[in-house]
Amino acid sequence: MTVVINFSQYGEISFSLNLSEAFSKPFTRYPEKDLAEIEEKLKRFKERFSTMLVCGMGGSSLGAKTAYSFLREHTKGEHRLLFLDNIDPLFVKKTLEELNWEDTVFCFISKSGTTLETVVFLNLILEELKKRNLKVDERVIFVGDRGKAFEDLANSLGCEFFEIPSDVDGRFSVLTPSQLVPIHFADIDIKELWEGALELLRDTTEDNPAVKLAKFKMHHYLNKGRNIAVMFAYGNYIYPFAFWYSQLWAESLGKNSKGQTPIKALGTVDQHSLVQLFREGPDDKVYQFIKVVNNPEFPKVSNQPVILDYIGGKSVSQIFDALYEGTKTALIETGRPVVTLELDGYTAFNLGYLFMLYMVATVVAAQILDVNPFGQPGVELGKRIAKEKLKGG
């Protein structure tokens, strides 16, 4: 196994579950036809452009951003991704100003095709392409639900269109064309991603790590009052996974006055900012440590360091591992519940496994809480108020 998962304080945890339902959700279907279509249709864009600007919000960008961070330094691909995933005016202005428009393909992702921020990006970019006399049909891709606004616009403009399965919610769509289109553009093996995902799905019993993870976290939430779930990601390249996880866990489970709040932490940075609270603050958290265990042996500290003799001759990897082990063990010895997920490398297989692990765990946790993991009714009021303000000028 290339992803090893261990639990502290597991013991006997019993919940009534319908696992056949959990393992048959639409996001678990292997999209063989979609993978072939993505590879075929993207050929002309990959031959012509080196950059893709991904325009999408939440589940329409977080998965690709995670994969790009996790695998970019290890695939050494020729193509890169940029992201417009926040409508911060300065961020939008700088992104568009610094873009090489001649060498960029634009990918707009939205299931409904009416996501406010994404539609704003779309209008800005279409206008700029027109000003620059650049052909829209040659450099714009739409990804969305069949029969919705993006498909209609793609047809009217003569642009490429990829379908997101209508029965897969946005935050569960990471292994559909929603995120596989930009991921494949970035030279990441999307078939290997799915190989990892399918590995997680081989065992559909309560011994499956996703089921055990959900039961562990829900036991500590319901029976121990631990209503916060920390993801402590050890490594800059794996840290974006914590953002993807946070949306999945919060938006799926935060309903009917229930839910376990996700918190992101970056190791080793947040050892200096959050661990004091984690060890000596309220015991209201479950901790998930995630780390790639095989790291480079170089660079190394000089055998005669100017300060701290005990680091002499040690590699940065050895020091990193010691800090990881120290923090994890300190929390366990303090009596905090800890899950460790250790990966043997930065591979598409491992990332696909992680994506599926947490999606299935989320569905199982929703069963335990008796909430619908799909949909996000709680965000609609804010959207409606924003719409009314814009209509009112």
Q: What are the catalytic residues?
A: 251, 272, 383
Distance CA 54, CA 48 (A): 17
Q: Which residues of 15-27 are buried (b: 16+ CB within 10 A; e: fewer)?
A: beeebeebbebeb
Neighbouring residues of 152: CB distance < 8 A, sequence distance ≥ 6: 113
The two three-digit tokens of residue 22, written as one number: 């959990």
> Which of these, 358, 353, 341, lies nearest to 267 by C-alpha position?
341
Distance CA 190, CA 350 (A): 12
Structure-token match 């890169």, residue found: 80
CA angle 317, 322, 324 (to 5 degrees): 95
Query: In whole angstroms, how far apart are CA 68 and each of 12, 148, 206, 268?
Result: 38, 28, 32, 21
Are the C-beta atoms of 54 and 182 separated by less than 8 Å? yes
Query: In whole angstroms, how far apart are CA 266 and each of 71, 297, 308, 309, 335?
Result: 18, 21, 24, 27, 21
CB atoms within 10 A of CB 40: 9
Are the C-beta atoms of 328 and 7 separated by less than 8 Å? no
Distance CA 110, CA 120 (A): 12
